[in-house]
Chains A and B, each alone.
Chain A
Amino acid sequence: MKEIIIKVSKDGKVSVDFNGFVGKECFAERTRLEEILRRLGIDTKVEEEVKKPEAYVEQEAYVMEVERA
């Protein structure tokens, strides 16, 4: 199941944790989220980004599935 956990701190920083996304889906979802936030008056600047190890496993599984099809 796709899940996003967002922590808003009072120092003006927001940490965003994407789980269960396949391939580059989560980057596309982040772009959509940023676009709506911009419309609501929030400008965002990424300070740190970490790709999770399991992300590569999920991506590999996804590629294999596509090849089989």
Chain B
Amino acid sequence: MSHYAVVKVKIQNPDARVLERALQRLAEKLNATVKTNAVVRGWNFRRRVNYLLETSLPYGNGYGVEINSKGEVVVHVDDHDAPMTAQEFQQELQKLYTAEAVKEALQELGYDVTEQEQRESIVIHAYALG
């Protein structure tokens, strides 16, 4: 039977390898460099985070990503006049993480996978091998 489903996703306790691939893709879009265990700075705040996407922002040194004690992904940034707000960054990271995780899962299930990135979404085609 073939079917179509719409699914809402929530990320918790992300896989480090998948998260790093998603962060690398996001860093390329922001012309940033990914650093681990680094300090993110903004107007009147500094915080050590798991990942820093280091890039020059009007009021900070980039976007910090922390995995908190509940396993949630938290973004720290002074986004005043930044190219992406904290919310936009979080949405983009969730999209890229989900796409990378879906591709990994489909490959594990034995599919041949291709990806097409569109303006607001990512489309993944998976074909059964053999």
Contacts and interface: CB of A to CB of B under 8 A. Distances in A.
Interface string B1-13: 1111111111111
Contacts, number: 163
Interface in B1-39: 1-15, 18
A51 interface: yes
Contact of A11 (B91, B111, B123): B91
A4 B4 CA distance: 10
A26 B6 contact: no
- Which of B15, B102, B120 gathers most chain A CB within 10 Å? B102
A21 B1 contact: yes
A44 B11 CA distance: 9
B1 A15 contact: no
A6 B125 CA distance: 7
A14 to B, nearest CB: 5
A50 B33 CA distance: 43
B125 A40 contact: no
Interface of A: 1-27, 29-30, 32-33, 36-37, 39-52, 54-56, 58-59
Closest 7 CB pairs between A and B?
A: A2-B128, A36-B105, A55-B1, A41-B14, A48-B6, A4-B126, A40-B101
